[in-house]
Structure 1
Amino acid sequence: MTINQPGAIDQLRVTPDDLSGPQIRALLAAHHAEMSAASPAESMHALDLTALRDPAITVWSAWSGDDVVGCGALKELDHEHAEIKSMRTAADHTGRGVAATVLTHLIAVARERGYRHLSLETGTEDLFAPARRLYLRHGFTECGPFGSYRLDPLSQYFTLDLERC
């Protein structure tokens, strides 16, 4: 999928990723390290490369030319519900539409797969404020814990009813 949004990176390609390339591995390692540093272990829900290889998870990378500039994943929770995981924009590409493009792609795939609900967990700290704003702009609403999550003052949960939007 190639998307060109106003003010965004000129040509952004979002493609399935098998996690074998050095660029995606480095981006996800940086993501996992930052999430580990930002949250205590019991509140850190970012997945490492091994966990992202779960058959229930599909990862996509976003490319600008030969550079990986972002990524995101869908984890099937059941045949009607999926979770967004590993949303990340490369540090030197923030504010350029990468996350919005990846999120739009993940929502489209979730619809194609027939999910009724798409949910996610993110942090409550200031570091996560841009992510929370992104999800709200795309129609997500706050909800309680889902799946195996539990109430946690450092976690905020969002959901999107794919049948309504």
Structure 2
Amino acid sequence: MPAFVIAAEDPATPDIAALVASHLREMHACSPACKVHAMPAARLAESDVIMFAARVDGELAAIGALKALGPLEGEIKSMRAADAFRGTGAGRAILAHILAEARARGLCWIGLETGRHPVFASAQRLYAANGFRECPPFAGYVSDDFSLCMGLPLA
């Protein structure tokens, strides 16, 4: 597995913004517009979100963000490995970093919304392997044929 260097970064950084835009295009290609909950780079730069980037020798490998839902809960947003780094552990590394950050901030629970389309199967497996389980909808989401809510107690 490559040595990933993970740090908080500005979502407007050109390579991060390009990966976020690619992620949004893929989400729109496999989900109805009303079911695309991925955030554009400008939203990921707001004060309630912290964007993390995993890099190998400066090259962007993966991104993921932690969004505050309140003082004790958070949400994972915009998890995505760059195409060249899929299957290298980049997604696992960024997820582990986000979970460590959530725990360091004293969060007791973290959730995420993902899709049920087959393109999301590897993401679902990654989350399940890290203890996430299907949970009731939260933060205005609806679980249905397109959306799946998953959560993980951190305390």
TM superposition score normalised by structure 1: 0.91
Structure 2 residue corresponding to 1:159, chosen from 144, 147, 151: 151
Letter in 1 for 2:94: V
Partner of 1:58: 50
Structure 2 residue corresponding to 1:72, chosen from 64, 75, 95: 64
Residue 19 of structure 1 deviates from its aligned partner by 1.9
Residue 151 of structure 1 deviates from its aligned partner by 3.2
Letter in 1 for 2:57: G
Alignment of 1:23 onto 2:15: yes
Alignment of 1:37 onto 2:29: yes
Alignment of 1:147 onto 2:139: yes
CA RMSD of aligned residues (A): 0.9
Letter in 1 for 2:66: L
In 2: Cα distance, 1:47 partner to 1:19 partner: 11
- Over residues 5-50 of structure 1, what are the superposed CA-to-partner deviations in whole Å (9 max), with x where a residue is unaligned? xxx11x1111101123211111111111111111111111110112
Letter in 2 for 1:96: T
TM superposition score normalised by structure 2: 0.97
In 2: Cα distance, 1:17 partner to 1:38 partner: 28
The 5 A counterparts of 1:96-135 are 96-135=88-127
Say how many residue pairs are matched. Answer: 155
SS of the equivalent of 1:82 reads strand
Percent identity, aligned pairs only, is 38
Residue 99 of structure 1 deviates from its aligned partner by 0.3
Letter in 2 for 1:82: G
In 1: Cα distance, 2:148 partner to 2:51 partner: 22
Q: After the TM superposition, which segments of 4 or more aligned residues of structure 1 sit over 4 Å from their partners?
A: none
Say if 1:88 and 1:99, in contact at 8 Å, map to a contact too. Answer: yes
In 2: Cα distance, 1:106 partner to 1:142 partner: 19
Alignment of 1:89 onto 2:73: no
Residue 66 of structure 1 deviates from its aligned partner by 1.8
SS of the equivalent of 1:78 reads coil
Structure 2 residue corresponding to 1:136, chosen from 124, 128, 143: 128
